[in-house]
Amino acid sequence: MTTQHVPGDAQAPEPARVDVLIVGGGIGGLASAVALTRAGLTCRVLEQAPAFGEVGAGLQIAPNCTRILREWDLFDEIAELGVLPRSIVMRDAVDGEELTRLDLVDAEKRYGAPYVVIHRSDLHGTLLRAAQRLGVDLVTDCAVTAVEQDDHGARAISAGRVDTADLLLGADGLHSLVRPLFSDDQPVSSAYVAYRGAVPIDTVRGNDISLDDVVCYVGPGSHFVQYPLRGGEMFNQVAVFESPKALAGFEDWGTPDELDAAFAGTCEQVRIGLPHMWRDRWWRMFDRDPIDTWVSGRIALTGDAAHPPLQYLAQGAVMAIEDAYILTHHATAHRDASGRVDWTAALAGYESVRPAHCRRVLSTARKWGELWHVAGDRRRWRNEVLRARDVHDYSFVDWLYGPTATQPAELAPMFEPIPYSPLTAPTAS
Ligand SMILES: Cc1cc2nc3c(=O)[nH]c(=O)nc-3n(C[C@H](O)[C@H](O)[C@H](O)COP(=O)(O)OP(=O)(O)OC[C@H]3O[C@@H](n4cnc5c(N)ncnc54)[C@H](O)[C@@H]3O)c2cc1C
């Protein structure tokens, strides 16, 4: 059930205490609510917006995420709403030449779960419906203004309302209100900006554009991504470029004139796609430096509040879902016969694995983005290296998609071990 918080409603009863309060109802907050409620805990999500929802277009979700969604019985819904692409193809944005590819059919065999592309509102909607079915207390119009704690639990304070719980999770995104408890850092501007656009697939059909793959065109200071969505009915595109105005210190940066200039010298497939971008909104791209402390007493961070990445590895929402899964694993492992969770032990388990993994994702995403955007001799060198790559070499994604050192040992049975040799093609089934 979703309830709307009415500030200053004197008739409203004091909200009942729950096991876990979650500040923020994005993909990360809802994933935590679903995972923890499935494990038998009571959860309340406090969302500042008047309704739960997501703005934007497509999301890529890799096997390390679809494997979890399958365990939560949500995979069939996800697969129906999304698309299972054949490959991820990397091309040079200037001449259109293919540089390398990842065969996602082989990858599914290797990692035991598929790669899916999905509209972000469909992933968010699937989690929301699951939360509603499970009886999560979902509260909208509730902007949390402060959080506090004592030895017994934590509180979220919002206009005319105080919510209490054994644990409070800050799932409130890049500009988190909860994160300053852990760090005085600020979001870091990359000076890059993203334009998005999702159109009916017939709009682009008939051109030399792949409709079955995720295709990423990498070019000097820019890249362009295309993939199908919604069972192949829609076509999603993301255009990302470095803004000269941002580099020069202007406030008004990332405007459509900069979009056109950034892609003027690109290949035909990119130029065909460009007119279909939404030009009335754009997303300036920020991340934050990684932090290693996410837990303080009965308050913890999750999702972008803990680890907002640049999106080059397509792991931001995926990491948020992994957080939910791993935290729930530790909460379950540290419950006594009466159902009470030893949160000190559970949160120590969570913090022993997640920050190190997410630090690596954030750092690698920055470097991966730099490699995509090189120019001149460095571009030629990058293209040679990528062309020479054995397409069956999964070493650069095994740590992301496969069983990683960051998974607690007791979860290992969930992940099939992968015999790996970079120069050996996967066996056909
Ligand atoms: C261009 C682009 C492409 C991307 N592509 C991918 C991809 O392919 N794959 C992938 O995995 N990730 C991708 N990401 C990253 C992904 O979108 C984010 O990592 C993910 O959505 C973060 O979810 P979250 O719930 O942690 O945070 P958010 O989505 O930011 O949600 C935070 C929620 O908290 C609420 N909130 C904030 N403050 C308060 C408050 N004080 N009180 C109450 N509520 C509050 C907000 O309203 C919001 O609903 C991409 C990002 C970008 C920008």
Specify the number of domains making up the chain.
1
Report yes or no on 27 lying in a domain.
Answer: yes
Q: What is the pLDDT of residues 133-155, one digit of tens each?
A: 999 999 999 999 999 999 889 99
Question: How do 161-170 and 18-23 pair as beta strands?
Answer: parallel
Report yes or no on 216 lying in a domain.
Answer: no
Pocket test for ligand 1, best of 44, 83, 177, 311 (most atoms within 8 A of CB): 311
Residue pointed to by tokens 């038998």: 40
Report yes or no on 425 lying in a domain.
Answer: no
Report yes or no on 211 lying in a domain.
Answer: no
Q: What is the pLDDT along the chain (429 residues), one digit of tens a residue?
A: 677 776 666 566 679 999 999 999 999 999 999 999 999 999 999 999 999 998 878 999 999 999 999 999 999 999 999 999 999 999 999 999 999 999 999 999 999 899 999 999 999 999 999 999 999 999 999 999 999 999 889 999 999 899 999 999 999 999 999 999 999 999 999 999 999 999 999 888 877 778 899 999 999 999 999 999 998 899 999 999 999 999 999 999 999 999 999 999 999 999 999 999 999 999 999 999 999 999 999 999 999 999 999 999 999 999 999 999 999 999 999 999 999 999 999 999 999 989 999 999 999 999 999 999 999 999 999 999 999 999 888 888 988 998 654 455 555 544 444 443 333 333 333
| Ligand 1 centroid distance, CA of 308 (Å) | 8
d(CA 229, CA 85): 10
d(CA 81, CA 244): 38
Please report the pLDDT score of residue 8 as a whole number. 62
Please report the pLDDT score of residue 419 as a whole number. 43
| Ligand 1 centroid distance, CA of 21 (Å) | 18
Active-site residue numbers?
Answer: 227
- Residue 315: CB within 6 Å of ligand 1? yes
Give the atom of ligand 1 at the shortest distance from the alpha carbon of 303.
26
Burial 47-65 (b: 16+ CB within 10 A, else e): bbeeebebebbbbbbbbbb
Q: Distance between alpha carbon 267 and the CA centroid of its chain, in Å?
A: 29
Q: Whose CA is nearest to atom 9 of ligand 1?
A: 314
- Residue 311: CB within 6 Å of ligand 1? yes
- Residue 187: CB within 6 Å of ligand 1? no
The two three-digit tokens of residue 147, written as one number: 């959080």
Q: What is the pLDDT of residues 88-102, one digit of tens each?
A: 999 999 999 999 999
Burial 400-421 (b: 16+ CB within 10 A, else e): bbbbeebbeeeeeeebeeeeee
Report yes or no on 250 lying in a domain.
Answer: no
Q: Whose CA is nearest to atom 49 of ligand 1?
A: 26
Give the atom of ligand 1 at the shortest distance from the alpha carbon of 158.
42
Helical pair 27-38 and 316-333, crossing angle rounded to 10 deg: 20
User: In terms of residue numbers, what domain contains 111?
Assistant: 2-186+288-405
| Ligand 1 centroid distance, CA of 237 (Å) | 19
Here the CATH number for the domain that contains residue 323 is 3.50.50.60
Query: Alpha-carbon Rg of the chain, whole angstroms?
Result: 22
Report yes or no on 110 lying in a domain.
Answer: yes
Give the atom of ligand 1 at the shortest distance from the alpha carbon of 240.
1
Please report the pLDDT score of residue 395 as a whole number. 84
| Ligand 1 centroid distance, CA of 123 (Å) | 12
| Ligand 1 centroid distance, CA of 132 (Å) | 20
Closest listed residue to residue 175, CA positions, set 163, 160, 185: 185
Q: Tell me the whole-structure pTM to 2 decimals.
A: 0.93
- Residue 59: CB within 6 Å of ligand 1? yes
- Residue 369: CB within 6 Å of ligand 1? no
Closest listed residue to residue 140, CA positions, set 23, 16, 52: 52
Please report the pLDDT score of residue 11 as a whole number. 61
